[in-house]
Amino acid sequence: MSTSLWSMVLETEQGALADLEKPKGAAAGEEGRKHARDACVEQLEARLDWTMMVCEAIWSLAREPLGLTDERLKDRITELDLADGKLDGRKRRAPATCGACRRTVSQRFPRCVYCGSAIERDPFA
Ligand SMILES: [Zn+2]
Protein backbone atom coordinates (compact mmCIF):
# COMPACT_ATOMS: atom_id res chain seq x y z
CA MET A 1 0.00 0.00 0.00
CA SER A 2 1.54 3.28 -1.08
CA THR A 3 -0.84 5.56 0.80
CA SER A 4 0.78 7.04 3.89
CA LEU A 5 -1.09 7.46 7.16
CA TRP A 6 -0.69 11.20 6.91
CA SER A 7 -2.21 11.34 3.40
CA MET A 8 -5.15 9.25 4.66
CA VAL A 9 -5.64 11.68 7.55
CA LEU A 10 -5.52 14.64 5.17
CA GLU A 11 -7.99 13.03 2.77
CA THR A 12 -10.39 12.31 5.63
CA GLU A 13 -10.03 15.87 6.89
CA GLN A 14 -10.68 17.28 3.44
CA GLY A 15 -13.81 15.17 3.16
CA ALA A 16 -15.06 16.38 6.54
CA LEU A 17 -14.26 19.99 5.71
CA ALA A 18 -16.05 19.72 2.37
CA ASP A 19 -19.23 19.06 4.33
CA LEU A 20 -18.94 22.34 6.19
CA GLU A 21 -21.04 25.24 5.09
CA LYS A 22 -19.05 27.64 2.96
CA PRO A 23 -19.24 31.36 3.70
CA LYS A 24 -22.11 32.97 1.84
CA GLY A 25 -21.17 35.03 -1.21
CA ALA A 26 -20.62 38.72 -1.25
CA ALA A 27 -23.60 39.94 0.76
CA ALA A 28 -23.43 43.73 0.88
CA GLY A 29 -22.58 45.83 3.91
CA GLU A 30 -21.56 45.22 7.50
CA GLU A 31 -24.07 42.38 7.96
CA GLY A 32 -22.54 40.50 5.03
CA ARG A 33 -19.00 40.99 6.39
CA LYS A 34 -20.14 39.85 9.85
CA HIS A 35 -21.74 36.75 8.36
CA ALA A 36 -18.58 35.95 6.35
CA ARG A 37 -16.38 36.51 9.45
CA ASP A 38 -18.64 34.29 11.59
CA ALA A 39 -18.55 31.58 8.92
CA CYS A 40 -14.74 31.77 8.80
CA VAL A 41 -14.51 31.49 12.59
CA GLU A 42 -16.89 28.54 12.50
CA GLN A 43 -14.75 26.81 9.86
CA LEU A 44 -11.58 27.47 11.86
CA GLU A 45 -13.20 26.05 15.00
CA ALA A 46 -14.30 22.95 13.07
CA ARG A 47 -10.79 22.57 11.65
CA LEU A 48 -9.28 22.93 15.12
CA ASP A 49 -11.73 20.36 16.54
CA TRP A 50 -10.77 17.98 13.72
CA THR A 51 -7.05 18.53 14.30
CA MET A 52 -7.44 17.92 18.03
CA MET A 53 -9.33 14.68 17.31
CA VAL A 54 -6.59 13.51 14.90
CA CYS A 55 -3.92 14.31 17.52
CA GLU A 56 -5.86 12.38 20.17
CA ALA A 57 -6.31 9.42 17.81
CA ILE A 58 -2.59 9.33 16.97
CA TRP A 59 -1.66 9.65 20.64
CA SER A 60 -4.07 6.91 21.72
CA LEU A 61 -2.68 4.58 19.04
CA ALA A 62 0.97 5.33 19.82
CA ARG A 63 0.99 5.64 23.63
CA GLU A 64 0.81 2.01 24.69
CA PRO A 65 2.78 0.28 21.91
CA LEU A 66 5.62 2.76 22.30
CA GLY A 67 5.55 2.74 26.10
CA LEU A 68 4.86 6.48 26.30
CA THR A 69 3.05 8.31 29.07
CA ASP A 70 0.95 11.45 29.26
CA GLU A 71 3.66 12.96 31.45
CA ARG A 72 6.27 12.39 28.75
CA LEU A 73 3.95 14.00 26.19
CA LYS A 74 3.52 17.05 28.45
CA ASP A 75 7.30 17.29 28.86
CA ARG A 76 7.79 17.18 25.07
CA ILE A 77 5.12 19.85 24.55
CA THR A 78 6.96 22.06 27.05
CA GLU A 79 10.26 21.43 25.22
CA LEU A 80 8.71 22.43 21.90
CA ASP A 81 7.06 25.47 23.44
CA LEU A 82 10.39 26.60 24.88
CA ALA A 83 12.23 26.11 21.56
CA ASP A 84 11.58 29.75 20.63
CA GLY A 85 12.66 30.96 24.08
CA LYS A 86 9.19 31.60 25.51
CA LEU A 87 6.85 29.32 27.43
CA ASP A 88 3.70 30.83 26.00
CA GLY A 89 1.80 27.99 24.32
CA ARG A 90 2.99 29.08 20.89
CA LYS A 91 5.80 28.05 18.61
CA ARG A 92 7.03 30.90 16.50
CA ARG A 93 8.74 29.86 13.28
CA ALA A 94 11.93 31.38 12.12
CA PRO A 95 11.75 32.79 8.61
CA ALA A 96 13.29 30.76 5.80
CA THR A 97 15.97 31.77 3.31
CA CYS A 98 15.12 31.41 -0.35
CA GLY A 99 17.55 28.93 -1.91
CA ALA A 100 17.58 30.85 -5.20
CA CYS A 101 17.77 34.56 -4.30
CA ARG A 102 18.90 34.15 -0.64
CA ARG A 103 16.30 36.61 0.62
CA THR A 104 14.51 36.05 3.92
CA VAL A 105 10.95 34.86 3.35
CA SER A 106 8.04 33.60 5.42
CA GLN A 107 7.54 29.84 5.62
CA ARG A 108 3.81 30.47 5.30
CA PHE A 109 4.14 30.78 1.54
CA PRO A 110 5.09 27.85 -0.74
CA ARG A 111 7.02 30.14 -3.11
CA CYS A 112 9.44 33.01 -2.66
CA VAL A 113 7.57 36.30 -2.94
CA TYR A 114 10.63 37.89 -4.60
CA CYS A 115 11.71 35.35 -7.24
CA GLY A 116 8.95 32.71 -7.26
CA SER A 117 11.22 29.77 -6.40
CA ALA A 118 9.79 26.98 -4.28
CA ILE A 119 10.64 27.37 -0.59
CA GLU A 120 11.93 24.30 1.21
CA ARG A 121 9.67 24.29 4.23
CA ASP A 122 9.83 22.90 7.72
CA PRO A 123 7.06 20.24 7.63
CA PHE A 124 5.64 21.67 10.88
CA ALA A 125 5.85 25.34 9.89
ZN1 LIG B 1 13.74 33.95 -3.94
Please indicate, yes or no, whether residues 14 and 27 belong to a single structural domain of this protein.
yes
Please indicate, yes or no, whether residues 63 and 123 belong to a single structural domain of this protein.
no
**What domain count does the chain have?**
2
pTM above 0.85, yes or no: no
Domain of 57, in residue numbers:
5-88
Tell me how far the alpha carbon of residue 86 lies from the centroid of ligand 1, in angstroms: 30
Tell me how far the alpha carbon of residue 6 lies from the centroid of ligand 1, in angstroms: 29
Please indicate, yes or no, whether residues 45 and 72 belong to a single structural domain of this protein.
yes
Query: What is the pLDDT, as a whole number, of residue 19?
Result: 52
Decide which of 30 and 123 is more confident. 30
Tell me how far the alpha carbon of residue 121 lies from the centroid of ligand 1, in angstroms: 13
Please indicate, yes or no, whether residues 64 and 124 belong to a single structural domain of this protein.
no
Indicate the residue type of 120. Answer: E
pLDDT in tens, 26-68: 456 899 999 999 999 999 999 999 999 999 999 999 999 999 9
Tell me how far the alpha carbon of residue 25 lies from the centroid of ligand 1, in angstroms: 35
Please indicate, yes or no, whether residues 25 and 68 belong to a single structural domain of this protein.
yes
Tell me how far the alpha carbon of residue 125 lies from the centroid of ligand 1, in angstroms: 18
Tell me how far the alpha carbon of residue 84 lies from the centroid of ligand 1, in angstroms: 25
Please indicate, yes or no, whether residues 29 and 69 belong to a single structural domain of this protein.
yes
Please indicate, yes or no, whether residues 57 and 101 belong to a single structural domain of this protein.
no
Please indicate, yes or no, whether residues 71 and 99 belong to a single structural domain of this protein.
no
Query: What is the pLDDT, as a whole number, of residue 1?
Result: 38
Please indicate, yes or no, whether residues 47 and 9 belong to a single structural domain of this protein.
yes
Distance CA 61, CA 32 (A): 43
Distance CA 66, CA 115 (A): 44
Above 50 in pLDDT, residue 96? yes
Contact of 21 with 39, CB cutoff 8 Å? yes
Side-chain-side CA neighbours of residue 95 (13 Å): 10
Which region, left, alpha or beta, applies to residue 77 given φ > 0 means left and ψ of -120 to 50 means alpha? alpha
